[in-house]
Structure 1
Amino acid sequence: MTRRLGSGSLVIATHNAGKLKEIGALLEPHGLKCLSAGSLGLPEPAETGKTFVENALIKARAAAEASGIVALADDSGLSVAALDGRPGVYTADWAERQWFEGEPGRDWYMAMGKVEGMLRQLGDDIDRSAAFHCVLAIAWPDGEHAIYEGLAPGSLTWPPRGEMGFGYDPVFVPAGHEQTFAEIAPEEKHAISHRADAFAKLVAEQFGS
């Protein structure tokens, strides 16, 4: 039986206020008060893992050890079948501008174009299937952990469509749909997303009967 979370405080291993709000809203009904690693002044560990699971665990364990409180971290990204799973754990890195590409920061259109360019180099009939992955890792200060993996399968399209998403959403069409994630209303997207899938598994195991 997997160890269960009790009521009380939970550190969300993020310095992003938006992510804290989103995750906090999902867990508040279960009696958890969510704090961010940023609000506690915890450093951000280097994400040196080769998989989503490894990176999520790195972040969760670092937050749990530094705070002495149970911690939750997520790691997510896009994998493209024809590109051998890339960009994978480097999903965000592909959007980072190099010194010769303008001001520092992320350019998601550039990242989408990079994926599309690599696919076109492989030919017109290339497999365009892809999936968004989300891994949630819970770490206890004594070293125990639990992992929950979510998946949103789909395919890539071009050119980008929609204004409501972020990241690679404008080129990702989820399985069973004709619109991209960036064209789907946020509440509908959240119901079918990789993060929703992972959280459903976490809630079922941690708070189910």
Structure 2
Amino acid sequence: MATDMKIMFVTNNMNKVIEANEIVKSFGIELIPIDVKKIEIQSDSLREIAIYAAKHAYEVIRKPVVVEDSGLFIDALNGFPGPYSSYVYRTIGLKGILKLMEGVRNRNARFIAIVALAISDSEIYVFEGITEGYIANEIRGDKGFGYDPIFIPSNHSKTFAEMDRSEKNMYSHRGKAFRALGEWVYANRDRLIFSQ
């Protein structure tokens, strides 16, 4: 399907852009990365963070815009790092998380992605993707990014970093959230005005 709907995507993470575009292209959508400062409020809710950021971005560019926020929630750490995943990754990294998990038997975790689409000042649509899984005992794989080398989705033996992009997209939280966005945009394309 030709991409006839272009939507701005507030991110400077090109890995996210590549993954998301691989998913939404089948719905005739292309996500265009845009360098607008993403305003992240302090909140325990990914949903609140994404909605606020999308609303702010729309106020700046006045065009339909997408924001994605995701987090890794580890049961044994009471949901940590959750909404603070990016900061924790930058400060203690994968080795720090594995150190916190030393000797911990319950390794259950989930990745959650929230995609917020703002199409006006008051119209913001939210799409969620959740992937259950567990934390590996060691860093494995050289594909993907972020926490991919230590997260194994349920019913699989490979970490996300051991999967190629198309395999990861079938199971990932981001894949689920952007697929839901794509389905919604495609179903509503006749009433939406996107950059052509």
* Superposition TM-score tier, normalisation by shorter sequence: 0.7 to 0.9
Work out the CA distance in 1 between the residues paired with 2:178 and 2:147: 21
Q: Work out which of the residue numbers 45, 61, 76 in structure 1 matches 2:70.
A: 76
Question: Which letter maps to 2:70?
Answer: S
Superposition TM-score, scaled by structure 2 size:
0.82
Q: 1:111 aligns with which of 82, 93, 96?
A: 93
Q: 1:27-176 residue pairs with structure 2 within 5 A?
A: 27-32=24-29, 34-38=31-35, 42-97=36-91, 110-120=92-102, 124=103, 126-176=105-155
CA distance in 2, matches of 1:75, 1:9: 20
- Deviation track 1:39-58 (CA, whole Å, cap 9, x = no partner) reads xxx33323433221112112
Distance 1:142 1:153, change over 3 A: same
Structure with the larger RCO, 1 or 2 (CA within 8 Å, 6+ apart): 2
Please say if residues 10 and 32 of structure 1, whose CA atoms lie closer than 8 Å, have aligned partners that are also in contact. yes
| Long gaps (5+) in structure 1 | 1-6, 98-109
2:179 maps to which residue?
A: 200
Identity level (%): 29
The answer to whether the Cα contact below 8 Å between 1:45 and 1:62 also exists between their aligned partners in 2 is yes
Q: How many residues align?
A: 185
Pairwise CA RMSD of aligned residues? 2.3
Larger Rg: 1
Ranges of 4+ aligned residues in structure 1 off by more than 6 Å: none
Q: Distance in 1 between matches of 2:143 and 2:29?
A: 30
The alpha-carbon deviation at position 32 of structure 1 amounts to 4.3
Between 1:140-149 and 1:85-94, the stretch displaced more is 140-149
- What SS class does the counterpart of residue 162 from structure 2 fall into? coil
